[in-house]
Structure 1
């Protein structure tokens, strides 16, 4: 049987072991603690799939309807905003919760390069997403409704939102790279 990783000796893991039924062996208690970590990691990966997956579709949707009539463009823009507000953004926030939980459960350190780098990039992405991209998307919708898709105002709003979206995508790809490869310095 495989031995348990050394990361299973964190204070939270020991606490989880101590709460396990007394009839379980110490190995079974450690396995129960590892199972909690694995469940949180599974949730973390699902949240990343939702957040990154939804975001990855925005450019496809917006590019597909770029030459469609105004009502179609407005419908898709509002759909992108709804996906962002109801699914992607909440998933990004919950990723922080599950990520911090894994650091504690796994006995990891916030000063580990890939964790610290991921957190810094996540904070930058959250700030850009909530305080730059979301307002730009609202402005893009307002401009489309008021001026139409051929107006300079709408084209400018669209170009700005596209640029910020690309920057966010690059940041998120780097975060995913850090989480998958776990590089060290």
Structure 2
């Protein structure tokens, strides 16, 4: 029973974290349609990232490790693969996406949406956001399909 409950929470956290990340593209498009709403959209992304997605990713590590210790007495290859991908995702998100988004917002407020600084940070946030999203989706694939289990 404990395993099923922890797995249920783990799946809900994954849905919330990855689902939140997927909305960032919509926020960006909606903000780009009207420059007066761009700051609101970017601050919305930052709020969701800091207060919803990232805490869920942190709790995913906790519940994932709990599942391993409750349900297995060894480290399946797919679990190890997911952990390696998770570490890469965290590094890209914390060292790439989050700082780029923060600087993008600062640059927007200081220099506007057509400034070189804003465009540079927007590009970095876009690339690191896409890379993070791909890693998140690959992790979901590994966790669902369990290749080479």
- Settle same-fold status: TM greater than 0.5: yes
User: Within 1, Cα distance between the matches of 2:2 and 2:52?
Assistant: 25
Which one of the candidate residues 52, 57, 78 is aligned to 1:87? 52
Deviation of the 1:153 alpha carbon: 1.3
Deviation of the 1:69 alpha carbon: 2.4
Which one of the candidate residues 49, 68, 75 is aligned to 2:40? 75
SS of the residue aligned with 1:65? Answer: helix
Residue aligning to 2:108: 144
**Given that residues 30 and 41 in structure 2 are in contact (C-alpha distance below 8 angstroms), is that contact kept between their aligned partners in structure 1?**
no
Is 1:167 paired with 2:123? no
Deviation of the 1:65 alpha carbon: 1.6
User: Within 2, Cα distance between the matches of 1:108 and 1:148?
Assistant: 55
User: Within 2, Cα distance between the matches of 1:52 and 1:69?
Assistant: 27
Query: 4+ residue runs of structure 1 moved beyond 4 angstroms?
Result: none
User: Within 2, Cα distance between the matches of 1:134 and 1:40?
Assistant: 29
Deviation of the 1:109 alpha carbon: 2.5
Residue aligning to 1:37: 3
Structure with max Cα Rg? 1
Residue aligning to 1:12: none
SS of the residue aligned with 2:34? Answer: coil
SS of the residue aligned with 1:184? Answer: coil
Q: Which runs of 5+ in 2 are unaligned?
A: none
Structure with a larger share of its residues in helix: 2
User: Within 1, Cα distance between the matches of 2:108 and 2:137?
Assistant: 30
How many residues are matched? Answer: 149
TM-score normalised to structure 2 length: 0.96
Deviation of the 1:67 alpha carbon: 3.1
